[in-house]
Structures are given as structure tokens and as C-alpha cells.
Homo-oligomer: A and B are copies of this chain.
């Protein structure tokens, strides 16, 4: 490379995929989008950049340190770090123009200047759905969310996954019964770690929060209630805790479970897990995590929950909601790393036409017929040898190749070759269209 060239390179933590991987990624993107739309969610596409004052209204600590923030002229600008804050801003701004419940999905890039490490990205896709109510939002919405998760992961080709469900009111009411309300946030933070650090370490940390060992044991017994969904609900009921939040929470769980079944989600794909609290402060009711059972080390691949107030930093209007997020870039990376998904085609073409004749008229007509039948078609204009054109077709892994030589043109036929099986047949274009559809 000569001295005066600039070395082409990409920022650390930023990804650009090769065509075959991008096609695989887009396939997942499309399936998630289609699943969200199947439930009638409307698309939203907020700007990448926002006023820092608006975007950071709530942020603090770690999040704020990771923000890409800069001045352009006199304007203090930040890049979005999630899709929830922009949603809150959007709903607060446009509340008069929106119909509630407002059901929106947004799939887009967000930016966090995290320390770079394997599988952690600074620019990554989130795929969010939220349903926002005006003052109230039916509990049935909490049951719809797992149905959407089920649809989404089923359409992505998974069957062995579990949507774990809990309710923050159950947790809070339970803590209240132990007179731990003031420490509830701390306790939640500690029990959230049980999968990572284990029972003993959790107990130790709980005791450090200044509670008696017997209380810590009660907490552990509680979050270790296991079993089939109805057994867990029965066990919770049998605790006979008469705190309002607890009773409400258990009733909500019951209703939500009934709804999830009504939506047709099999019992094998969801269960109550009392250890789930979700770290974020703003969840107030149902919470969700989703585990691919064969790959538990991936952690939750789809999480979220119910919150009382989406946009309290911008408006006095009460906007309760429930939503989930899929971290697509991370999920894609993990699935590829684990060999669960594998790229094949490096082209969107279903067919590549290899014209052998000097005159391309017949080849171009053939391409036109195929495209009119919605078959994606590339024509190879290279006028190179058959071998060289076949090499190219093989490299981009186009599924079918159509060879057009003098004989084919004379007989008004084409020769089509299945590039996977090697099978080859000469027939007319209408048969080819039928075969490829």
C-alpha cells in the first residue's frame, strides 16, 4: 500500500458483516418484525440523535458515562442508548395525536461506549415492543407479551425456550410481610444474582443488608418455590400473606397465566420464576425473561415487564405500559458463535443466469419473466468462461443457476441447475417459474 493511502478500518466495538452474515442477520430482523406486526404493532423510528437534556433526563451513573455526547454549535447532543427513553419522549410529545393503547415496535441501532469485549458491542440493534395506556392498561396486555415472545422465537426456529414470568408486586408484598420494604430494592438486587453467585453467597449478601439469618432463609425459601405453574401459584396462595401488594400480585399472576394459555402458548414454554426481579427500577408488575434452554449461559434473550409510568420526566400524564426488548446484535453473535445459526447465501438472488451467447436478448427476457414472478434474479454479464461464472455462482452460493446457450435459445428453453444437489434439467421457463415458487 502506498504511503499516502489511509488504512481502511472500523471502530472497535462496531460491526459490519460480510454479505452472507448480513443476509442471515436480516432474516432474523425480518422475522422479528413480522412477528411484532402479526400482533398489529405500529412501527416507530425515532432519531439517533436527541438533545442531551431530553435523553439524559433520567439517566445517571454507568449509563451516563457510556453515552456518546457532543456539541454541534451550541447544541448539546447525545446518541440514543436505548429505545425506551426516545419512546417516552415521543409519547409525551405526541400524546394528543396518538390513539391509546399505543402499540408500537421499534427496531434500531443504539449506542453505548462500553468497554469492548467479545460479544459486547458499542453499536447494536434492539428490537422493542411496548403497549402504552392512557392512565390505565388492561392486565390482558401482560398476557399478550409472552404470546408475542412465543410467536417471535418460534418463527426464529426455536422450540425449546422458556419464558420466565414473575410479578414485582408479589416480591414487594412478600418483603413487606418481612418488614423489609425499605430494603426491597437492595434485596431485589441481591436475589437477582442467584443464578450467577449461588444460594450461599446470596444469603451472605442478604445478611450483610442487616437482617436476621432466619429472614434471609425465608427469602431464599420463597424464591426457591419451584414446580409447575399451578403448583407455584398454589404455594404462593398457601403462604397466607395478607399484604395488599402480595395478594394483588398473586391474583395478577393467576390472571396473566390464564391469559397466556388463552393465547395458545404451551405450558412447556413458560413458567413462573420467583427469582426474576429485573434490575431496572421502573418495573412495577409482571416481569419477563426468556431462556434458550439448551444455551442457558446466554442469559435472557428477551426481557421486559410492566411499568406504571413511562414518561414521568416529561409529562404529568400517567402512561402505564408493558414491553420487551430483544438485543438482536448480541443474540445474533451468540447464536453464530454457538453454531446454532449458519450463513448460507451471500446473495439475495434465487437464480443466476449465465448467458453463453453474445446477444443477451433471450437471457434478459428470461430474467424479466423470473423477476415478474418475484424470483430474485442476477444475470452474469462477465462474458467469462462457464467455469469462471460457475465459480462466482458458487462463491456467492446462489441456489440455482440457469444456463442459456444456442440450443436453449433455439428451442425456447433454459437449462437450470440446482447448485446444492447438482441436478440439471432443460425445460421451458414456465416450468422453471413453477419449480422455484
Contacts and interface: CB of A to CB of B under 8 A. Distances in A.
Interface stretch (A13-21, A174-182, A207-215, A222-230): A13-21
A121 to B, nearest CB: 10
A45 B19 CA distance: 9
A349 interface: yes
A9 B54 contact: yes
Given A50-B10, A151-B371, A42 B19 contact: yes
Interface residues of A, number: 99
A99 interface: yes
A54 B376 CA distance: 34
A348 B23 contact: no
A201 interface: no
Nearest to A88: B8
Interface stretch (A358-366, A408-416, A419-427): A358-366
Nearest to A37: B348
A347 interface: yes
Contacts of A25: 45
Given A8-B93, A9-B93, A68 B72 contact: yes
A40 B8 contact: no
A128 to B, nearest CB: 15
Interface string A290-317: 0000000000000000000001011110
> Which of A109, A151, A377 has the most B CB atoms < 10 Å from its CB?
A109
Contacts of A364: 259, 262-264
Given A15-B47, A123-B47, A6 B41 contact: no
A5 interface: yes
Interface stretch (A138-146, A165-173, A274-282): A138-146
A377 B36 CA distance: 10
Interface string A99-134: 101011000010101000000000100000000000
Contacts of A348: 36-37, 40-43
A97 interface: yes
Interface stretch (A235-243, A333-341, A379-387): A379-387
5 contacts: A8-B88, A19-B98, A39-B376, A101-B382, A144-B381
Interface of A: 1-2, 5-11, 14-19, 22-23, 25-26, 36-51, 53-54, 57, 68, 70-73, 75, 77, 88-90, 92-94, 97-99, 101, 103-104, 109, 111, 113, 123, 138, 140-141, 144, 151, 259, 262-264, 311, 313-316, 346-349, 352, 360-361, 364-365, 367-368, 371, 374, 376-379, 381-383, 392, 395-396, 398
